[in-house]
Amino acid sequence: MAIKYIKIFLIPIVITTTAIIAVISQKNLQVFPAVNTVISFYCDQLNNGNTEIHYAESNDKHALITYTTREGFITPYAGIGFTTRHRNALWDASKYDYINIQVETTRSRALRLFIYTHIAGISKKANVHSYLFNLQEIPVWKQEKNYQIKLTEFNVPEWWYNMNNIVPNDEKVYRDYSKTRSIEIQNGTIAQLDSKDTIVVKRIFFSRSKKNILIYWFAANFMYLIIFLSTQHFRKKMDSPVAAKRHGSEKEREELNKITDYIGNHYMDNSLTVNMVSQATEVSAYKVSILLKEEFSLSFSQYLNTIRLSESKRLLKTTELKISEIASMTGFGSINHFNRIFKLTENRTPAEYRQFNS
């Protein structure tokens, strides 16, 4: 009888231990630095823009670009591309949960991260724009830092569908990370014009989720023993952490409400920053960005622009105010900045939008 009980105890422990060893032993997929990765540098001069690259270099330690974004293209940009050396040898990232980048900048507070994946029947080797653009914009800080982004958080921008004459959410378009062609890192959507900036990328790799894996192992086995022994006392112990978690969620909900209320009442201030919101709400700037990202899947600047654009569209449709007045009233500061952001998100200028909705 004792041997029988020992077997019952050991079976789940062996199974969970084997599963955990399999997960831990899974190697990361290294993109950079790597022998089979080709580095390229680019800017919006490819689209008749005026951004200037001052210096660029790559070696086995980092890839670096120094540039100045200038007015010209709708969204001025410069960036670094990481591509498989052989077009037929694509990266298979389908078994991974995250992409990790080690990067630092001198001025940018946001970076756009693109992952290009192949789509059967649509993507063509000679046309990089036919590959699916998986985009995520992340807030960054000056100092070097490791950023981990879930692959499920990437989105396909609407302009990609327009560029390829495809209806949004077409069933033919699907994300297949087993056929990853390249990765690009460039400045954020809202770039400070005429200011020199540097992006330094030191590492890029795909990884699997190992968060709290040992905790899950102990919890799984402990719960098995609890169920086996039918001990109600320990079941109540297991339930106690849940209430604490709900308490934390309520606090974060209150903080989020303060943040969105403040932004909703001050979005017309063209100098509004995440630090100003932080000071007014007594929530750290870092947590402000995290709460907005978790709730709306938007960075601070993206959320702020969404509020401003929503109000500007209402004014364009319901008033006869000049476009320059609307730009000022909604916090965009200058009409050029307003036109650029509006065109980027709506694929038409404010004037065209007003005419279309009149």
Q: How far apart are CA 293 and CA 288, in angstroms?
A: 9
pLDDT of residue 86: 80
Question: Is residue 81 a contact partner of residue 40, using CB atoms and an 8 Å limit?
Answer: yes
Q: Which residue has the tokens 């730009």?
A: 327
pLDDT of residue 1: 45
Q: How confident is the model at residue 26 (pLDDT cuts 50, 70, 90)?
A: low
Residue % of the chain over a pLDDT of 90 = 57
pLDDT of residue 249: 75
pLDDT at 341 over 60: yes
Helices (H), the chain: 2-24, 158-163, 213-229, 232-266, 274-281, 285-296, 300-318, 323-329, 335-346, 350-356
Q: Which two tokens stand for residue 148?
A: 């981990």
- Helix or strand or coil: residue 3? helix
pLDDT at 6 over 60: no
Q: How confident is the model at residue 228 (pLDDT cuts 50, 70, 90)?
A: low
Q: Which residues pair with 146 in a beta bridge?
A: 102
DSSP secondary structure of 28-77: PEEEES-TTEEEEEEEGGGGT---EEEEEEE-SS-EEEEEE--BTBSS--
- Helix or strand or coil: residue 199? strand
Q: How confident is the model at residue 251 (pLDDT cuts 50, 70, 90)?
A: confident
Q: What is the mean pLDDT of residues 251-271?
A: 92
What is the tally of helices (H) and strands (E) in the chain?
10, 11
Q: What is the mean pLDDT of residues 118-124?
A: 89
pLDDT of residue 92: 93
Task: Select, from the ranges 133-137, 138-142, 164-168, the one with the highest average predicted confidence (pLDDT).
Answer: 133-137
In this predicted model, what pLDDT tens digit does every residue of 76-97 receive, in sequence order?
Answer: 999 999 999 886 789 999 999 9
E strands, 145-223, in order: 145-150, 180-187, 196-207
Q: Which residues pair with 136 in a beta bridge?
A: 113
pLDDT at 192 over 90: no
Q: How far apart are CA 91 and CA 178, in angstroms?
A: 6
Q: Which residues pair with 29 in a beta bridge?
A: 206
- Helix or strand or coil: residue 102? strand
C-beta atoms surrounding 211 within 10 Å: 10
pLDDT at 333 over 90: no
pLDDT of residue 238: 34
pLDDT at 239 over 50: no
pLDDT at 222 over 80: no
pLDDT at 151 over 90: yes
DSSP secondary structure of 164-178: TT--TT-TT----GG
Whose CA is closest to 85, among 176, 181, 204? Answer: 181
